[in-house]
Chain A
Amino acid sequence: MSADATRLVYLDHVASSPVDRRVAETICTVIKNNFGNPLNVHTPGQAAQEIIETARQNVAALINADPKEIIFTSCGTESNNFALYGLAQAAVGKGKHIITSQLEHFSILHALKNLEQQGFEVTYLPVDKFGFVSPEQVASAIRNDTILVSLTHASNEIGTIEPIAEIGKKAKEKGVLFHVDAVQCAGIIPVDVKTLGVDALTLASNTFYGPTGVAALYLKKGTRILPYLVGGTQEEGRRAGTHNLAGIAGMGEAAKIAKAEMAGNSEKLIKLRDKLAQGLVQKIPEFFLTGHPTGRLPGHVSGVVKYIEGESMSMLLDMEGIAVSTGSACVSKALKASHVVLAIGVSPEDAHGSLVFSMGKDNTDADVDHVLEKLPPIVERLRQMSPLYKK
């Protein structure tokens, strides 16, 4: 709906990032030339097998895992569902208690709700005002019947990077499985499964310039999991179903590029992030930032504009060619303010005015200037309409 169709300032990389051109090339080449099913011994099947194994090596290398520890899935949601159902059900003999936080994505929360209905018990840990989960709190929540801790590495809504390595240590000390939803981190910041001490980790291709429709679950060697999709022997029987060959090739290529270019991208994005954050605070009265100011994702700025609502803001920004996301009820379809923004102590009325600007490697200084020019008058315009705003 952009009025200025010549300009698109895309600031919603947490939702999905544009596919890198090199990745798109790889996908096109594979989809044109390869069609075989890797389960077959004939030549087209074996060619497909080789493509998948190359991609697996690249994805494994991105997170310092062994290729055998990578299971390809269809999306981050599937990986999260698979991890929770599969690990919980495989460990049910030991206990039925799971620990998570109040910051989690719906693909974690809704899967846990289902597990609760099956008799599992879930502890939802609170977070501090920055959105940090405390490793000590995790440790003290672990009971004799605790089987699993599942936490986000960084919430898409507030960007704070959690102390995963410290929590991993606590989980290991107590002999509890640890799953991390690293959809927002893998390919963006260094993620090393060995340093983090995780048993399972979710990563999704479309947050690091790969295609949608493909993701992975890292599963530490020797960890028991029940399959979620059953059928053929794909992924060593852990995830049945014909492979998304071109998608997997694209994810592999995206992983390879991410590993090589991550440091440079981060350095640039942190500068853009800090400029945007400071600019918003300076230019918009009664605006506050959310999440931790520095311990956060490189291109991520989140905050709350008081007295107005997020959907209206994002629609008017879209008219200026700026794409952002919001934590407002009106967008969530649940018609409730974002549980993540509420969890860090923002009031329900303020939570409706939350905005998330998530930048990617192709964003520029000029993009930040464009937002800082276009947003203040939009805020002013909506505030003039708002009965909550009294000058």
Chain B
Amino acid sequence: MPEPYNKTVMDHFMHPRNMGEMENPDGIGRMGNPQCGDIMEMYIRVKNNVIEDVKFKTFGCGAAIASSSMVTELVKGKTIDEALKITNKQVIESLGGLPAIKHHCSVLGEDALKAAIDDYLKKKTGKGLEGWKPRNDEDEHGHEAGAQKQG
């Protein structure tokens, strides 16, 4: 049967990993806005600079849910520095590809993770993630980039 996404994406959509809320997380990141139709919330628990546990909640399409799920898989057990190296490209590759028009979903995943780390650092050191600003605007979280890639 034809499907709108590949097997890996469908698997993460149907069986999302690490979905749910976390009690007293060390960092929370929220990205996207309801007007664009996708919002991700990511919660992290950090011990000795390692992301021990991660959870997510997502309002969005199949690609947004699968991207969130994949980000949590990629990040679990990583140090903060390693986690910060995760890019949306890596999310797309790990998912075995996303339709170009859905690339913004992977950007949202990367950003939600960074927002959670930023929140964690703020709480811990009083200073957030250096040189990072949330990209909450519709265009900036990758809609335009996705559209151009498709064309």
Q: Does A226 contact B (CB under 8 A)?
A: no
Q: Does B3 contact A (CB under 8 A)?
A: yes
Chain A residue at minimum C-beta to C-beta distance from B62: A315
Which chain B positions have C-beta within 8 A of A311? 61-62
A308 CA to B34 CA in the complex, in Å?
10
Binds A, one of B52-60, B74-82, B84-92, B119-127: B52-60
Number of interface residues of A (CB under 8 A): 25
Residue among B2, B13, B36, B39 having the largest count of chain A Cβ atoms under 10 Å: B36
Q: With contacts A1-B2, A335-B143 known, is A387 near B62, CB below 8 A?
A: no
Residue among A2, A333, A386, A387 having the largest count of chain B Cβ atoms under 10 Å: A387
Which chain A positions have C-beta within 8 A of B27? none
Q: Does B40 contact A (CB under 8 A)?
A: yes
A78 CA to B133 CA in the complex, in Å?
47
Which chain A positions have C-beta within 8 A of B37? 309, 328-330, 335, 337, 349, 352
Which chain B positions have C-beta within 8 A of A337? 35, 37
The interface bits of chain A over 316-330 (1 if a CB of B lies within 8 angstroms of the residue's CB, else 0) are 000100000000111
Chain A residue at minimum C-beta to C-beta distance from B57: A387
**Considering the complex, which residues of chain B in the window 21-52 have a beta carbon less than 8 Å from any beta carbon of chain A?**
30, 34-41
Q: With contacts A330-B63, A385-B19, A385-B58 known, is A315 near B1, CB below 8 A?
A: no
Q: Does B109 contact A (CB under 8 A)?
A: no
Which chain B positions have C-beta within 8 A of A333? 101
6 further A-B pairs in the complex, CB-CB below 8 A; given A385-B57, A387-B58: A315-B62, A384-B20, A385-B19, A387-B30, A387-B41, A387-B57
Interchain Cβ contacts under 8 Å between A and B, 11 examples: A309-B60, A312-B65, A329-B36, A330-B37, A331-B61, A333-B101, A335-B37, A335-B101, A335-B146, A337-B35, A387-B41
Report which A residues bind B (CB closer than 8 A). 1-2, 5, 307-309, 311-312, 315, 319, 328-331, 333, 335, 337, 348-349, 352, 384-388
Report which B residues bind A (CB closer than 8 A). 1-4, 10, 13-14, 16, 19-20, 30, 34-41, 57-65, 101-102, 104, 143, 146-147
